Amino acid sequence: MTTAVAPQPDAALDIVVRDALRSTALETIGHAVVIDLQTMRCGRYRETENIYPASVIKVALMVEAFRQIADGRLGRDHSVTVSAANQTTTAEATPLKPGYRATLRELIDLMITTSDNIATNELYDLLGRETVTDAMRHLGLPTFLAGRKLSGSEPLIEDPGMTGRNRLPPDEIALLLALIALDRVPYAAEQRAILARCVHSEKLTAGLQSADLFMHKTGETDEVSHDAGILVTPDGRRYVVVLYTSPPPLPDRSDASHYDAQLAAWMRRMREYL
């Protein structure tokens, strides 16, 4: 399977991306990439900066899980016993209590659709963080790092295997999503179907038109608010759309959902062009 994808810069699309950020008061805190998958032209703004990816990094774990399924290393029904060591708070209700037997299929689905942090931490153990990092770099993501398990709140989860701070800048998640969109990774259609079931629709999804399909993953902490996905318009045109933001934290250090409306407004402006 040929994985190489090389979107070419488009100065006009750069201007559209930046103007949309400026008009929605996101220019100083935003980082964006838009790839037109018909022409393989891309618009970018501060796309290489090392902004903490939060839960967007879970897309990389999904891609690697399906690679290991394709290689025969794992099966979708491979099961693990959920560990007490991987427990942390997570956004939605979860069945993943200590001692629960979870299949790989279930872990992948929960990690993406409801952003389950416990499922993610189990996959760190099952897939191997060094293996995930090596696989992503082989796909063309040169600075990617799966370094630390995820925590839903303070205190951070104990992680003796930590190798550094997670890294997946906007340009690299854009490339990974393009590989998924273009069927350049194993079971890409299945991965797109999982991304389409993401339950968190408060950010870019809220700025789409009614018949649009957005297969995506959000990420949020008290310091960042992101959304990244594959957009399919009613006429079949396809785009990768990535927006990372680093809003000023709220006084109570709660998650940065106070910028959701501005992310949606940026998408609405971009959708006028796409």
The per-residue DSSP string of 203-224 comes to SGGGGS-TT-EEEEEEEE-SS-
State pLDDT tens for residues 158-194. 999 999 999 999 999 999 999 999 999 999 999 999 9
User: Which pLDDT score is estimated for 252?
Assistant: 82
Neighbours of 188 (CB within 10 A): 17
What average pLDDT does the segment 110-121 reach?
98
Neighbours of 67 (CB within 10 A): 20
**Whether residue 74 has pLDDT greater than 60:** yes
User: Which pLDDT score is estimated for 255?
Assistant: 80
User: CA-based Rg of the chain, rounded to a whole angstrom?
Assistant: 18
Domains and CATH numbers, the chain: 1-53+170-274 (3.40.710.10), 54-168 (3.40.710.10)
**Please, which residues bridge with residue 81 across strands?**
101
User: Which pLDDT score is estimated for 1?
Assistant: 57
Q: Judge contact between 217 and 229, C-beta under 8 A.
A: yes
- Quote the CA–CA distance of 177 and 187 in Å, as a whole number: 13
pTM > 0.95: yes
Report which of 160, 149, 162 is spatially closest to residue 88, judged by C-alpha positions. 149
State pLDDT tens for residues 198-239. 999 999 999 999 999 999 999 999 999 999 999 999 999 999
b vs e for 136-175, b when ≥16 Cβ sit within 10 Å of the residue's Cβ? beebbbeebbbbbbbbbeeeebebeeeeeebbbbbbbbbb
Helices (H) and strands (E) in the chain, counts: 8, 8
Report which of 59, 63, 5 is spatially closest to residue 35, judged by C-alpha positions. 5
